[in-house]
């Protein structure tokens, strides 16, 4: 089962070249049952990565381009009057799928962004007083542009906390960029991808994570990280209990991909930055400068003894 997940990583790396570590982190996020946020400047492969993951995992997916004029009904669906039935018939929106690719999610208004809150947390949608379950598994893979770019609306803390992990791809190195320049168009290569897993296999793999042992000492370490984030004065607010649960679940998935049936502190450290950095808002240092959240999370990790 986990050999297939490694095969998925290898296939995706042929499309998104030079980003093996980020691909592995993205698979850990989905294996842990969480939603994924990919943040970076336009044109570095965020959407391509999301497409390649959905296809390789054998999941049905819809792509929704978030814009400033997008409405909540465009996400969840709307009822339309049917003359033959003499009543309103609900037409499901693109959220009714296994993978929703929310492209440039922070270009939509906060009202539209909030349409995903219930779907991401409860895996259900309430529209016009009726609650409808979403397919299983259900993931949101969202991309967003940096907040300083024109036409963006910052995601609220409640929305960010629903993303298990946040990744940044960054610019490719010289070798990877040359492969992109000399190779085929990525959109053409996406059409040639074949599913390597089925949805049932992914669900089974997620269930298998419950068998990954976490010792009481390991849980103490996760708690120490969470408590330190709340008390060390680096952040406006510390890690929530949901963030600590997400950290432990992601560490289990990382350990599984490493071929272990137990979690070690190195597994927690491997996923700490992508799990915690987007949830923590830095406070300005005494010098007046402000370090990035990722740098402060690394500082937090160094301050907590294993």
CA distance 216 to 234: 27
* Domain locations in the chain as residue ranges: 1-203, 212-303
3-state helix, strand, coil in the chain (%, to 5): 50, 15, 35
Task: Name residues whose C-beta falls within 8 Å of residue 145's C-beta, 6 or more positions apart in sequence.
Answer: 39, 40, 41, 42, 104, 106, 107, 152
pLDDT in tens, 19-55: 899 999 999 999 999 999 998 888 888 888 988 999 9
Mean pLDDT (whole number) for 154-183 = 87
Q: Where does the pLDDT of residue 134 fall: very low under 50, low under 70, confident under 90, or very high at 90 and above?
A: very high
Please determine, looking at this structure, whether the domain spanning 212-303 carries the CATH number 1.10.8.80.
yes
**Mean of per-residue pLDDT scores for the chain:** 88
Does residue 167 carry a pLDDT above 50?
Answer: yes
**Pairing state of beta strands 61-65 and 99-103?**
parallel
Closest CA relative to residue 51, chosen from 28, 34, 26 = 26
pTM: 0.89
- Look at residue 288 in the predicted model and tell me its pLDDT: 42
Does residue 146 carry a pLDDT above 80?
Answer: no
- Look at residue 150 in the predicted model and tell me its pLDDT: 65
Fold held by 1-203: Rossmann fold (3.40.50)
- Look at residue 88 in the predicted model and tell me its pLDDT: 83
- Look at residue 147 in the predicted model and tell me its pLDDT: 63
Does residue 285 carry a pLDDT above 70?
Answer: no
Six-digit token string for 222: 């996760």
Q: Where does the pLDDT of residue 128 fall: very low under 50, low under 70, confident under 90, or very high at 90 and above?
A: confident
What element of type H or E holds 191? Answer: helix 186-191
Mean pLDDT (whole number) for 230-252 = 91
CA distance 190 to 14: 10
- Look at residue 149 in the predicted model and tell me its pLDDT: 66
Cα of first residue to Cα of last residue in the chain, in angstroms, is 31
pLDDT in tens, 63-91: 999 988 999 999 999 888 888 877 888 88
- Look at residue 253 in the predicted model and tell me its pLDDT: 94
In three-state secondary structure terms, 64 is strand
Q: What angle do CA 242, 248, 250 make, to 5 degrees?
A: 100
Range with the largest mean pLDDT of 80-89, 121-130, 182-191: 121-130
């Amino acid at each position: 089962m986990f050999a297939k997940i490694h095969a998925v990583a290898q296939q995706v790396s042929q499309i998104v070249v030079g980003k093996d570590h980020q691909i592995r982190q993205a698979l850990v996020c989905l294996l842990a049952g969480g939603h994924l946020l990919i943040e970076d400047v336009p044109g570095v492969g965020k959407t391509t990565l999301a497409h390649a993951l959905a296809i390789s995992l054998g999941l049905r997916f819809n792509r929704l381009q978030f814009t400033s004029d997008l409405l909540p009904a465009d996400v969840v669906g709307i009822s339309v009057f049917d003359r033959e039935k003499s009543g309103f018939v609900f037409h499901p929106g693109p959220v009714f799928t296994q993978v929703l690719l929310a492209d440039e999610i922070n270009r939509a208004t906060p009202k539209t962004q909030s349409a995903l809150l219930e779907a991401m947390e409860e895996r259900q949608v309430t529209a016009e007083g009726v609650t409808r379950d979403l397919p299983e598994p259900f993931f949101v893979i969202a991309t967003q542009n940096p907040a300083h770019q024109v036409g963006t609306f910052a995601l609220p803390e409640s929305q960010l906390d629903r993303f298990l992990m946040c990744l940044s791809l960054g610019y490719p190195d010289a070798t990877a960029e040359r492969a992109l320049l000399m190779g085929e168009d990525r959109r053409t290569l996406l059409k040639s991808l074949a599913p390597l897993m089925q949805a049932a296999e992914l669900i089974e793999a997620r269930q298998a994570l419950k068998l990954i042992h976490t010792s009481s000492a390991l849980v103490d370490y996760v708690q120490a990280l969470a408590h330190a984030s709340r008390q060390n004065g680096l952040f406006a607010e510390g890690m929530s209990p949901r963030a600590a649960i997400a950290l432990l679940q992601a560490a289990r998935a990382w350990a599984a991909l490493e071929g272990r049936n137990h979690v070690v502190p190195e597994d927690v450290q491997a996923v700490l930055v992508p799990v915690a950095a987007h949830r923590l808002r830095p406070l300005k240092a005494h010098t007046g400068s402000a370090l990035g959240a990722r740098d402060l999370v690394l500082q937090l990790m160094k301050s907590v003894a294993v």
